[in-house]
Amino acid sequence: MDLTQLWSHGIAAMAPYVPGEQPQGEGWIKLNTNENPYPPSPKAVAAMAAAVHERMPLYPDPQSLELRRVLSERFDVPVEGTFVGNGSDEILAFAFRAFFDRDGELLFPDVTYSFYPVYARFWEIPFRTIPLREDYSIAIEDYAGKLAGIAIPNPNAPTAAPLSLERIEQLASEHPECVVLVDEAYVDFGADSAVTLIAKHPNVLVVQTLSKSWSLAGLRVGFALGHPTLISALERVRDSFNSYTLDRVAQVGATAALQDDPWFRETVGKIVATRERFVTGLKSLGFEVLPSAANFVFAAHPKLSSKELLEALRPHRILVRAFKGNRLERHARITIGTDAQMERVLEVLATL
Ligand SMILES: Cc1ncc(COP(=O)(O)O)c(C=O)c1O
């Protein structure tokens, strides 16, 4: 018997998201999933080690109140305006369910985080993708009609292009009928956060993560900031699903990390400086590089497609990300690692 017949309706037809490769073994220069090359705050590591030893028989705080208090202070928003989840991916999935299953269409860019169409199909939300302009920018004038929602990453992925706060504010004020979800996974590397818009535009929901600028991809912690009424909708989804999305170690580690601002600034500063040097190096090799406000660059080799580039780098144990489809074939997405790693990449690229 074909046991796939036992699957629920719709599961066979699904096209799940495929995460970037996590290679086994040592010695890889891993620039394919936009992780941070530096370790997290030593204070976060110490807090997590202590948490492993204490109180593990008990469930964690389902409200994650301590962590949310720290978020509230850092971003100057009320505690009720904060939400935490198991990576921002989980929060995005909850938000799609909480806000976009309404009359009208959900809009997001055609070139963007590839999880968006997966969530939309999973929750059976009608959506339309809006083509980026010729220069890979998001033109907010194109986001028109009777909308159920708008989702945009700022900076966008995989292009790394930022959108100005003025444009996001315009989008929010022109569409009070729906939630404007701003996915700020990479905002700390060079864009302005829309958190400052929340007080004036209560339809703005900001989602951030500790996976990139905070060096904690392995911990799986993301957070959302928004009007308490929007946060209540996210809590309804979570509490219909899994009340304890953040374990004790994650809550404690994230809390301690967010309190170590000097560590955060130093790490982000190093990545931004390396990015600028790497972009100069790529350009001198003839690459076309889009301006980046993220911890990765979107770059096209003068001759090779991104797939060919990926295959040429792989034997050198260097991993980058290639994309399929319209307008994406030429550009590879290359995460910014340490200076030494990026110098090695440039060295190898020079030989191709
Ligand atoms: C645009 C964007 N949003 C969200 C995420 C999810 O991050 P996480 O689930 O690790 O918080 C990613 C991860 O690569 C991303 O690129």
User: What pLDDT band is residue 194 in, cutting at 50, 70 and 90?
Assistant: very high
- pTM > 0.95: yes
Q: What is the pLDDT of residue 21?
A: 86
Cα 54 to ligand 1 centre (Å): 30
Q: What is the pLDDT of residues 284-297, one digit of tens each?
A: 999 999 999 999 99
| 153 Cβ inside 6 Å of ligand 1 | yes
Taking residues 276-289, report their average pLDDT. 97
- Residue for token pair 């997290």: 40
Mean pLDDT in the chain?
A: 96
Two tokens at 266? 């130093």
Whether 56 has a pLDDT exceeding 90, the answer reads: no
Whether 18 has a pLDDT exceeding 90, the answer reads: no
- Do 212 and 36 touch, CB atoms closer than 8 A? yes
Q: What is the pLDDT of residue 13?
A: 86
Atom of ligand 1 nearest to the CA of 209: 11
Per-residue b/e over 286-322, b at no fewer than 16 CB within 10 Å?
Answer: ebebbebbbbbbbbbbeebbbeebbebbeebebbbbb
| 156 Cβ inside 6 Å of ligand 1 | no
The C-alpha angle 12, 131, 169, rounded to 5 degrees, equals 110
Q: What is the pLDDT of residue 277?
A: 98
Whether 25 has a pLDDT exceeding 90, the answer reads: no
Taking residues 237-251, report their average pLDDT. 96
- Do 159 and 136 touch, CB atoms closer than 8 A? yes
Cα 150 to ligand 1 centre (Å): 17
- Residue for token pair 């790529």: 282
Q: What is the pLDDT of residues 75-119, one digit of tens each?
A: 999 999 999 999 999 999 999 999 999 999 999 999 999 999 999
| 213 Cβ inside 6 Å of ligand 1 | no
Atom of ligand 1 nearest to the CA of 92: 4
Cα 185 to ligand 1 centre (Å): 6
β-partners of residue 141 are none
Q: What is the pLDDT of residues 296-340, one digit of tens each?
A: 999 999 999 999 999 999 999 999 999 887 688 899 999 999 999
Q: Looking at ligand 1, which residue's alpha carbon is closest to its atom 7? A: 88
| 113 Cβ inside 6 Å of ligand 1 | yes
